[in-house]
Amino acid sequence: MNVNAENEKRPVIKVRNLYKIYRVGANKVYALNGVSFDIFKGEFVAIVGTSGSGKSTLLNMLAGLEPPTKGEISIGKKRIDKMNERQLVVFRRDNVGFIFQSYNLLNTMNGLENVAMPLMFKGVSRSVREKKAAKYLELMGVSDQARHMPNQMSGGQQQRIGIARAMVVDPKIIFADEPTGNLDSKTTMDVLGLMQKVVREQGKTLVMVTHDNTIADYADKRIRIVDGKIISIEYGERGREIEGAETEKEELEISLGLSEGTEA
Amino acid sequence: MKFSDLLRLSINNLKRRKLRTFLTVLGVIIGTASIVVMVSLGIGQAELQTESIESYTSLTTIDVWQGGMFGDGSSEEQKYITDEVLESFERIPHVTGTSPQLRVNVIAKQGVYEANLQLLGVSPAFLEEINVGEGKLPLDPKKLEFLYGNSVIRDFMNAKTGEGYYTTYEDPDVDLMGKPVFIIFDTSAYYQSHAPQSAEQAGAESGQPKVKPPKKYIVPTAGLVKGTPDDWGQYSYSTYCNVDALKAQLKSIYRKEPIPGQPTDKKGKPLDYFVYDNASVYVDDMENVKSVQDTIAAMGYQANSNMDWVEQNQKTMQIQQAILGGIGAVSLLVAAIGIANTMMMSIYERTKEIGVMKVLGCDMGNIRDMFLIESGCIGLMGGTAGIAISYGVSFVINKLYLRNQMMSGYVMPGSDSMGSISRIPLWLVIMALIFAVAIGMLAGFFPSRRAMKLSPLSAIRNE
């Protein structure tokens, strides 16, 4: 991060000192306890942690679905922690794609209509948006599902539709919450492969939340989170390329805090 | 988001739960139908009553009587109705015509039959209101002709036996159209000249000089008012003629003598103009009767119209309509609760879906609109079907009503006077439809706001 300041590469996502505190009765629960990191354009980032580590909370806040208690989230040049709900909706519509664990396709719509849905929210006319949606269906290899309803599709097919839907608005960032959580291992590999392809060929930034280390291995950069704190940031080969000379090592100084417990 | 897309989403959602949608719509159908039928009954009843009033009297006629009658000899001038006054009435806006009513009692004779007739000299405007059964209207101001009321024939009595319809209940053998009728205008002279002959019967003193019997005139019959002697109508009992012809006739009979019934000046000389007992003023529309009536009253005359009565009647009917509509509205209220319930259920069911839509960038307003359109559609469907059903129910009610009327003998089969008790005017249809949609949207308002405020997080949460 020290080098990046002068670098022409500006982070797409910049998070500084992010806290999320829930009150449970008289106790304060730190879902996120001072998190800071950067994500650059074209990166495939995995946020890895166990259940209850705060990884989903982090993703929700990056996507503007949940306001932080304290701290700063910038996406591009915009401070999304300062936006109200209406602005966030517009922001998401224009900049963010979403892939869900349970696919969340609308049962009343067929494959094509599901993919075209975010464009419908933008007010794009039906013929234009369906043409565009068909293109992404083809890219995901599920053109044959265009006229099928979600309940006629397998999980893998549904998730491919889901990915196509996330990409149809041509977002800067795609968020994926346990995208393979409901899939078998073979389909998982396929879907992850597709996601990698999206990042590499379409130049998207993808932030994925997972609890599974093998899945996280597909990412260029892995942010490990335990009890609301980042314990290490690891880079794959491509990740090092993107972030530049700074990172030969796989772990950051923050990770030193791991063995000592609560410092950092 | 485009409206067409919103509409499609909403309709798809309604289709998804067909039975539930149907049941909710059914509530609205019953609600709308009950309002429409109830109100249509109220309207039908009010209109029937107005129509029945209209059928035997005119609602656009104002009767004017001379004013100042009650001023007991005070300085207030007697407000006579003269031709001049009638002309001033004609200048009031919305007045289409006026007619004086010059009342004269005459005696008519045909063969042994004799009758006291109330003769009314009126203007063509008045005559035009009368339905003629036989012959024509006596419109010619130069020629004195009579139009007899359909029941006038019963006024003729056998002068020898003194029997008439009211003692024998048989219509006298008088043919007003076919045989000549002799008319005696100077009735007092007639009675005086007859007095000696009838002195034994009447028991009157006969000290007076013998009076020459007055002249009899043959007055041609122009026509008869429509109807049999049994039918009762506004024009049944009088005899009508053109007022100008009557005036000319009276002048030629009495010359310089005062005409009976006409006022005289202080010296007991007749006036050089006619004074009418009352007059009719015709107005273009029922709506304007009241204002014209007020204007005439302000001029110092007594004005009456049937509108006074009709208005009173309408007020009662309006209250009745409101009560009937209210009863119908209760069932629509129940239907509205049904809609609200359905919408709430739908929102609980679709919480996740709404969340997904929000995450994917659907405007909060669009989500609200989507639910509003859904509930509005329920209202629209229910309203449309409800109106269709109302027409059916209304048809059945009218059939039953008619049969009932016929059985009780109020209405002859095939008579053109049969009316419908349930009437659905276009405005009621439009109002009902708007009302149903508005109720639907109102019922969907709070659920839709709730949907709008749902957290998008619910979509992310994994079950």
Shortest distance, CA B6 to any CA of chain A (angstroms): 9
**Dihedral sign of CA atoms B223, B229, B235, B237 in order:** positive
Q: What is the mean pLDDT of chain B?
A: 82
Residue A141 makes CB contacts below 8 A (sequence gap 6+) with: A160, A194
CA-based nearest residue in chain A for residue B10: A108
Tokens representing A192 are 């992850």
Q: Which residues pair with B241 in a beta bridge?
A: B121
Q: Please write the tens of the pLDDT for every residue from B148-165.
A: 888 888 888 888 887 788
B174 in any annotated domain: yes
B365 vs B296: CA distance, rounded Å: 60
Shortest distance, CA B51 to any CA of chain A (angstroms): 56
B130 vs B139: CA distance, rounded Å: 12
B74 vs B67: CA distance, rounded Å: 13
The closest CB to that of B360, out of A98, A102, A107, belongs to A98
Q: Please write the tens of the pLDDT for every residue from B197-213.
A: 544 444 444 455 556 67
- What are the φ/ψ torsions at residue A199 (nearest 5 degrees)? -65, -45
> Cβ separation of B460 and A65 shorter than 8 Å?
yes
Residue A174 makes CB contacts below 8 A (sequence gap 6+) with: A96, A97, A98, A99, A166, A167, A198, A204, A205, A206, A207
The pLDDT confidence band at residue A259, using thresholds 50, 70 and 90, is: very low
Question: H/E element holding A83?
Answer: none
* 3-state SS record for chain B: CCHHHHHHHHHHHHHHCHHHHHHHHHHHHHHHHHHHHHHHHHHHHHHHHHHHHHHHCCCCEEEEECECCCCCCCCCCCECECHHHHHHHHCCCCEEEEEEEEEEEEEEEECCEEEEEEEEEECHHHHCCCCEEEECCCCCCCCCCEEECCCHHHHCEECCCCCEHHHHCCCCCCCCCCCCCEEECCHHHHHHHHCCCCHHHHCCCCCCCCCCCCCCEECCEEEEECCCCCCCCCCCCCEEEEHHHHHHHHHHHHCCCCCCCCCECCCCCECCCCCECEEEEEECCHHHHHHHHHHHHHCCCEEEEHHHHHHHHHHHHHHHHHHHHHHHHHHHHHHHHHHHHHHHHHHHHCHHHHHHHHHCCCCHHHHHHHHHHHHHHHHHHHHHHHHHHHHHHHHHHHHHHHHHHHHCCCCCCCCCCCCCCCCCCHHHHHHHHHHHHHHHHHHHHHHHHHHHHCCCHHHHCCC
> Cβ separation of B360 and A118 shorter than 8 Å?
yes
Task: Check residues A151 and A237 and name the one with the higher pLDDT.
Answer: A151
Share of chain A above pLDDT 90, in %: 42
Average pLDDT over every residue of A206-222: 90
- Please report, in angstroms and rounded to a whole number, the separation of the first and last CA atoms in chain B: 30
Residue B259 sits in the same domain as residue B376 = no
CB atoms within 10 A of CB A123: 13
> Cβ separation of B362 and A102 shorter than 8 Å?
no
Instruction: Please give the angle made by the CA atoms of A212, A43 and A9, to the nearest 5 degrees.
Output: 150
> Cβ separation of A92 and B2 shorter than 8 Å?
no
CA-based nearest residue in chain A for residue B11: A108
B9 in any annotated domain: yes
B251 vs B257: CA distance, rounded Å: 9
Domain count of chain B? 2
Tokens representing A163 are 């990915």
Residues in chain A: 264
Fill in the amino acid letter for B398.
Answer: N
Residue A205: the pLDDT is: 92
Contacts of A123 in chain B (CB under 8 A): 1-2
Task: Check residues B195 and B23 and name the one with the higher pLDDT.
Answer: B23
- What are the φ/ψ torsions at residue B184 (nearest 5 degrees)? -115, 120
Tokens representing B82 are 């003269």
Residue B228: the pLDDT is: 82
Residue A136: the pLDDT is: 92
A55 vs B249: CA distance, rounded Å: 116
Shortest distance, CA A92 to any CA of chain B (angstroms): 6
Q: Please write the tens of the pLDDT for every residue from B360-393.
A: 888 889 999 999 999 999 999 999 999 999 999 9
- Please report, in angstroms and rounded to a whole number, the separation of the first and last CA atoms in chain A: 16
Tokens representing A142 are 């599920």
Contact A115, A136 (CB under 8 A): yes
Residue A2: the pLDDT is: 46
The closest CB to that of B364, out of A60, A86, A177, belongs to A86
Does residue B99 carry a pLDDT above 90?
no
Residue A261: the pLDDT is: 40
The closest CB to that of B1, out of A94, A121, A178, belongs to A121
Shortest distance, CA A113 to any CA of chain B (angstroms): 11
Residue B117: the pLDDT is: 87
Shortest distance, CA A60 to any CA of chain B (angstroms): 8
Does residue A263 carry a pLDDT above 70?
no
Q: Which residues pair with A208 in a beta bridge?
A: A46, A176
Does residue B10 carry a pLDDT above 50?
yes
Residue B34 sits in the same domain as residue B86 = no
The pLDDT confidence band at residue A133, using thresholds 50, 70 and 90, is: very high
- What are the φ/ψ torsions at residue A205 (nearest 5 degrees)? -100, 130
Does residue A131 carry a pLDDT above 90?
yes
> Cβ separation of A60 and B457 shorter than 8 Å?
yes
> Cβ separation of B361 and A86 shorter than 8 Å?
no
Residue B444: the pLDDT is: 92
Residue B402: the pLDDT is: 84
Tokens 């309203």 found at: B383
B231 in any annotated domain: yes
Measured between CB atoms, does B462 come within 8 Å of chain A? Answer: yes
B98 in any annotated domain: yes
The pLDDT confidence band at residue A3, using thresholds 50, 70 and 90, is: very low
The pLDDT confidence band at residue B418, using thresholds 50, 70 and 90, is: low
> Cβ separation of A89 and B5 shorter than 8 Å?
no
Q: How far is CA A256 from the centre of its chain?
A: 26
Q: What is the DSSP letter of A66?
A: S
Does residue B188 carry a pLDDT above 90?
no
Shortest distance, CA B14 to any CA of chain A (angstroms): 10
Residue B253 sits in the same domain as residue B349 = no
Residue B71 sits in the same domain as residue B155 = yes
The closest CB to that of B359, out of A65, A125, A181, belongs to A65
Share of chain B above pLDDT 90, in %: 19
Tokens representing B317 are 């009917």
3-state secondary structure of A112: helix
B225 vs A105: CA distance, rounded Å: 82
Tokens representing B261 are 């019934």
By mean pLDDT, which of A135-149, A152-166, A175-189, B280-294 is the weakest?
Answer: B280-294
- Rg of chain B's alpha carbons, rounded to an integer? 35
Residue B19 sits in the same domain as residue B150 = no
Residue B130 makes CB contacts below 8 A (sequence gap 6+) with: B137, B147, B225, B235, B240
Residue A159: the pLDDT is: 92
B297 in any annotated domain: no
The closest CB to that of B361, out of A56, A89, A101, belongs to A89
Question: H/E element holding A4?
Answer: none
Contact A224, A230 (CB under 8 A): yes
Measured between CB atoms, does B359 come within 8 Å of chain A? Answer: yes
Q: Please write the tens of the pLDDT for every residue from B19-28.
A: 999 999 999 9
Q: What is the mean pLDDT of chain A?
A: 85
Contacts of A208 in chain B (CB under 8 A): none
Contact B459, A65 (CB under 8 A): no
Residue A248: the pLDDT is: 46
B38 in any annotated domain: yes
The pLDDT confidence band at residue B416, using thresholds 50, 70 and 90, is: very low
Which of A51, A121, A168 would you mutate first to test chain B, the one with the most B CBs within 10 A? A121
B245 vs B127: CA distance, rounded Å: 14
Does residue B422 carry a pLDDT above 60?
yes
Residue B50 sits in the same domain as residue B78 = no
Average pLDDT over every residue of A13-40: 91
Average pLDDT over every residue of B138-145: 86
By mean pLDDT, which of A65-79, A120-134, B80-94, B264-278 is the weakest?
Answer: B264-278
Contacts of B3 in chain A (CB under 8 A): none
3-state secondary structure of A60: helix
Options 3.90.1140.10, 3.40.50.1000, 3.40.50.300, 3.40.50.620; CATH of A41-67+84-260:
3.40.50.300
Residue among A137, A139, A117, A141 at smallest CA distance from A129: A117
Shortest distance, CA A3 to any CA of chain B (angstroms): 35
Q: Please write the tens of the pLDDT for every residue from B228-265.
A: 888 777 788 889 998 888 888 888 888 777 777 777 77
Question: H/E element holding A121?
Answer: helix A111-121
The closest CB to that of B363, out of A89, A100, A177, belongs to A89
Helices (H), A140-256: 155-167, 185-202, 213-216, 237-243
CA-based nearest residue in chain A for residue B357: A118
> Which residues between 442 and 461 in chain B have a beta carbon less than 8 angstroms from any beta carbon of chain A?
455-457, 459-460
Shortest distance, CA A150 to any CA of chain B (angstroms): 13
Residue B23 sits in the same domain as residue B172 = no
Residue B426: the pLDDT is: 93
> Cβ separation of B460 and A60 shorter than 8 Å?
yes
pTM over 0.80: no
Residue among A187, A241, A210, A214 at smallest CA distance from A45: A210
**Dihedral sign of CA atoms B30, B31, B33, B34 in order:** positive
Residue B386: the pLDDT is: 95
Produce one character per residue of B265-280: b if its CB has 16 or more CB atoms within 10 Å, e if not. eeeeebeeebbbebbb
> Cβ separation of B457 and A66 shorter than 8 Å?
yes
Residue B90 sits in the same domain as residue B225 = yes
Q: What is the DSSP letter of A1?
A: -
Q: Where are any strands of DSSP class E within A88-243?
A: 96-99, 173-177, 205-210, 221-226, 229-235
Contact B62, B280 (CB under 8 A): yes
Residue B127 sits in the same domain as residue B245 = yes
Which of B352, B360, B370, B461 would you mutate first to test chain A, the one with the most A CBs within 10 A? B360
Residue A137: the pLDDT is: 93
Domain holding B125, by residue range, is 61-203+217-284
The pLDDT confidence band at residue B56, using thresholds 50, 70 and 90, is: low
Residue B164: the pLDDT is: 80
The closest CB to that of B2, out of A108, A123, A177, belongs to A123
Residue B279: the pLDDT is: 87
Does residue B74 carry a pLDDT above 70?
no
